[in-house]
Structure 1
Amino acid sequence: MNARSVELFGGAERAKAADFVAERGETFLRVTKGLAPDAPVSASWYGDVPFTLATVTGLMLSETLVHGLDIARGARLPWPIGDDEASLVVGQSMPTMMAAALDPARARGVSIAFDLVIEGGPRLAVVIDDGTATVTRDAPPRAYDCRIVAAPTTFLLVAFRRTPIWKAVASGRMRAGGRKPWLAMRLGRLIASP
Structure 2
Amino acid sequence: MAAVSEERWRAARTALAAQTDRFADLVRDAPPDAMATADWSVADTLAHVHSLAWYYVCLVDREHPPLPVPGLSAQLPGTTVDTVADFNDVLLRHLTEREPQPLLDRLRADVKQLLAICEGRRPDETVPWLGGARVPLAGLCAHLVNELLIHGHDVARATGRPWPVPGADAALFLELFLAGVVRHGYGRLIDGGAPPSERRVVVEFRSAYAPPVRFLLHRGRVSFADPDARPDARIDHDPGTLNLMMFGRVSRARAVLTGRVRVSGRRPWLLPAFLRKFRTPS
TM tier, smaller: 0.7 to 0.9
TM-score for the superposition, normalised by structure 2: 0.60
> What is the distance in 2 between the residues matched to 1:119 and 1:164?
22
Give how far 1:171 is off. 0.8
Give how far 1:16 is off. 2.4
Runs of 4+ in 1 over 6 A off after TM superposition: none
Segments of structure 2 that go 5 or more residues without pairing to the other structure are: 1-86
Q: Does 1:177 align with 2:264?
A: yes
In the alignment, what sits opposite 1:20? 106
Pairing partner for 1:7 from 63, 69, 93 = 93
> What is the distance in 2 between the residues matched to 1:13 and 1:169?
39
Q: Does 1:126 align with 2:241?
A: no
User: As a proportion of its length, which structure holds more strand?
Assistant: 1
Deviation digits for residues 83-137 of structure 1 (CA, Å, limit 9, x no counterpart): 111112221112145773534452311531111112332311121101111146x
Q: How has the CA–CA distance of structure 1 residues 103 and 7 changed in structure 2, closer, same or farther, with 3 Å as cutoff?
A: closer
Count how many residue pairs are aligned between Structure 1 and Structure 2.
190
Pairing partner for 1:106 from 194, 201, 204 = 194
In the alignment, what sits opposite 2:153? 69
Seq. identity, %: 25
Contact 1:159 1:188 in 2 (8 A): no
Pairing partner for 1:50 from 134, 137, 143 = 134
The residue type paired with residue 180 of structure 1 is R
Pairing partner for 1:33 from 119, 127, 131 = 119
Segments of structure 1 that go 5 or more residues without pairing to the other structure are: none
TM-score for the superposition, normalised by structure 1: 0.85
> What is the distance in 2 between the residues matched to 1:134 and 1:79?
34
RMSD: 2.3
Give how far 1:15 is off. 4.2
> What is the distance in 2 between the residues matched to 1:143 and 1:5?
43
> What is the distance in 1 between the residues matched to 2:151 and 2:194?
28
The residue type paired with residue 259 of structure 2 is G
Give how far 1:158 is off. 1.3
Contact 1:90 1:122 in 2 (8 A): no
The residue type paired with residue 83 of structure 1 is G
The residue matched to 1:120 in structure 2 has which SS? coil
Q: How has the CA–CA distance of structure 1 residues 125 and 102 changed in structure 2, closer, same or farther, with 3 Å as cutoff?
A: farther
In the alignment, what sits opposite 2:54? none
> What is the distance in 2 between the residues matched to 1:11 and 1:105?
35
